[in-house]
Amino acid sequence: MDQSDSVVQLLDSNGSFTNDSLFTSTLKESELIDFYRDMVLVRAIDEQATALQRQGELGLWAPLLGQEAAQIGSARAMKKQDFAFSTYREHGVAWCRGVDPVDMLSFWRGTKHQGWDANQYRSYGYQIIIGAHALHATGYAMGAYLSRNTETGDAGIDQAVMAYFGDGAMSEGDVNEAFVFAASYQAPVVFFCQNNQWAISEPTKRQSRVPLAYRAAGFGIPGIRVDGNDVIACYEVTRQALDRARSGQGPTLIEAITYRMGAHTTSDDPTKYQVFSEVELWRDRDPIERLKVYLRAKGVLNNELESEISNEAATLSERMRDECRKLPDPNPLSMFDHVYSESDLNIDEQKREVETILSRSQDN
């Protein structure tokens, strides 16, 4: 993997297989169907969450629309023992790690800061502070190395870590420091940068005049560009990088070139800065559509299976709608829990203040 302008693509936007000199698809048709299902489902999750936010059920939502292939392809390349650190937009990654979409909603509804147990799913909750978690991922990967849970050659043991972030994050000091540490300790971490062309309203060229993947080489890390709307290429490139990491060959930076088809978040108005024609251009490169065309042409996806999957999506959406509304509000007193590992007089006293207020309002 050397520095070059070329972009790995295995499935073009017309849904035809293409050749790449270094990568080929190792996927079975059943796996491709699974990817297709994943992408359809996470798009449904995204749509439903966006709707729930419009209806006032969520405080905010950051849509992944358009980035399904980048997220599903890369996250499906992870093994069970791997660990993912993501931003606020990686619902598809959380999905692949087994997180229930309703647990995802709890963060956006404001009932929890972390909607799921990071250790259970081996996937850390949403990180809002741009870039901060790139260092956590690197440290976690250093931990895997120091614990000798890499380079054993045992596919069930060797761990690697995924760090997800966006094009904008490439400018933050923390991300660049993560490259320094990862390179210095040859940590088994894969940096997966979804270049969705935008950091809110700022185009990628404000952050960099050269392709983002180029950044890696200067830190002594291989960098590679992949078509982020090609789920097969995303899978293969990530899988290879994870294998490299696991086997002691160090970190990789992957730049997945994709497009944020929705608003930055539900608070955003992209018409202020996005050009319609560009959005249209990317609509033709839709990640789900191209896999569908391919699978249909292959004859492995038929009407029946398609409607089965879309029924599954509808059922999931409905359950999200129902369960979102039922997500229990936290007990106000819970805010005094888990500030420290032990009880503290000052915090207990403040808790009693709130208890008094709450009991008073119950009396009324």
Partner 1 sequence: MPQLSIVHALNQGLHRAMDADSKVLLMGEDIGKLGGVFRVTEGLQKSFGDERVIDSPLAESGIVGTAIGLALYGFRPVVEIQFDGFVFPAFDQIVVQLARMRFRSAGALSLPITIRMPYGGGIGSVEHHSESPEGYFAATPGLRVVTCSNSHDAYWMIQQSIASDDPVIFLEPKRRYWQKSEVNTDSHLNNISALHEARVLTEGSDCTIIGYGPTIATCLQSARLAAEDGVSLEVIDLRSLSPIDMPVLIKSANKTGRVVIVHEASRSGGVGAEIATRLTQECFYKLEAPVMRVTGYDVPYPPSRIEDDYLPDAERILDAVEKCMGY
Cα–Cα distance for residue pair 137/163, rounded to 1 Å: 6
Task: Compare residues 67 and 204 and give the one whose CB is closer to partner 1.
Answer: 204
Q: Residue 259 binds which one of ligand TPP, Mg ion, partner 1, none, with CB within 5 to 8 A depending on kind?
A: none
Considering only residues 190 through 209, tell me which ones interact with its own copies, judged by CB under 8 A.
206-209
Query: Could you list the residues that contact ligand TPP (CB under 6 A)?
Result: 87, 89, 128-130, 165-169, 196, 198-200, 260, 264
Provide the token pair at 345: 């007089």
Is residue 193 part of the contact set for partner 1 (CB under 8 A)? Answer: no
Task: Compare residues 116 and 259 and give the one whose CB is closer to Mg ion.
Answer: 259
- Cβ 205 to Mg ion shortest distance, Å: 12
Task: Compare residues 10 and 72 and give the one whose CB is closer to ligand TPP.
Answer: 72
Provide the token pair at 13: 């936007």
- Cβ 211 to its own copies shortest distance, Å: 9
Task: Compare residues 56 and 156 and give the one whose CB is closer to partner 1.
Answer: 56
Is residue 108 part of the contact set for partner 1 (CB under 8 A)? Answer: yes
- Cβ 218 to partner 1 shortest distance, Å: 15
φ, ψ dihedrals at 300, nearest 5°? -90, -15
Is residue 334 part of the contact set for partner 1 (CB under 8 A)? Answer: yes
- Cβ 34 to Mg ion shortest distance, Å: 27
Is residue 141 part of the contact set for partner 1 (CB under 8 A)? Answer: yes
Is residue 114 part of the contact set for partner 1 (CB under 8 A)? Answer: yes
Q: Residue 198 binds which one of partner 1, ligand TPP, its own copies, none, with CB within 5 to 8 A depending on kind?
A: ligand TPP
Cα–Cα distance for residue pair 103/109, rounded to 1 Å: 10
Which residue from 153, 141, 232 is spatially nearest to 191, judged by alpha carbons?
141
Task: Compare residues 8 and 62 and give the one whose CB is closer to partner 1.
Answer: 62
Which of 177, 306, 312, 323 lies at the binding interface for its own copies (CB under 8 A)? 177
Task: Compare residues 196 and 317 and give the one whose CB is closer to Mg ion.
Answer: 196
Cα–Cα distance for residue pair 49/320, rounded to 1 Å: 8
Alpha-carbon distances of 191 from 5, 77, 119, 188, rounded to whole Å: 18, 13, 20, 10
Task: Compare residues 121 and 191 and give the one whose CB is closer to its own copies.
Answer: 191
Cα–Cα distance for residue pair 207/198, rounded to 1 Å: 10
Which residue from 262, 132, 147, 247 is spatially nearest to 188, judged by alpha carbons?
247
Which of 102, 130, 162, 216 lies at the binding interface for its own copies (CB under 8 A)? 216
CB pairs under 8 A, 24+ apart, for 264-272?
264/62, 264/198, 264/200, 264/201, 265/60, 265/61, 265/62, 265/63, 265/88, 266/50, 266/53, 266/54, 266/58, 266/60, 266/61, 266/62, 266/63, 267/60, 268/200, 270/198, 270/201, 272/201
Is residue 218 part of the contact set for its own copies (CB under 8 A)? Answer: yes
Cα–Cα distance for residue pair 284/261, rounded to 1 Å: 11
Q: Residue 136 binds which one of ligand TPP, partner 1, its own copies, none, with CB within 5 to 8 A depending on kind?
A: partner 1
Q: Are 52 and 266 in contact (CB under 8 A)?
A: no
Q: Are 167 and 195 in contact (CB under 8 A)?
A: yes
Cα–Cα distance for residue pair 320/63, rounded to 1 Å: 16
- Cβ 197 to ligand TPP shortest distance, Å: 8
Which of 48, 74, 150, 196 lies at the binding interface for Mg ion (CB under 5 A)? 196
Is residue 111 part of the contact set for partner 1 (CB under 8 A)? Answer: yes
Q: Which residues bind its own copies (CB under 8 A)?
A: 170-174, 176-177, 180, 183-184, 206-210, 214-220, 223
Query: Which residues of the chain form contacts with Mg ion (CB under 5 A)?
Result: 166-167, 196, 198-199
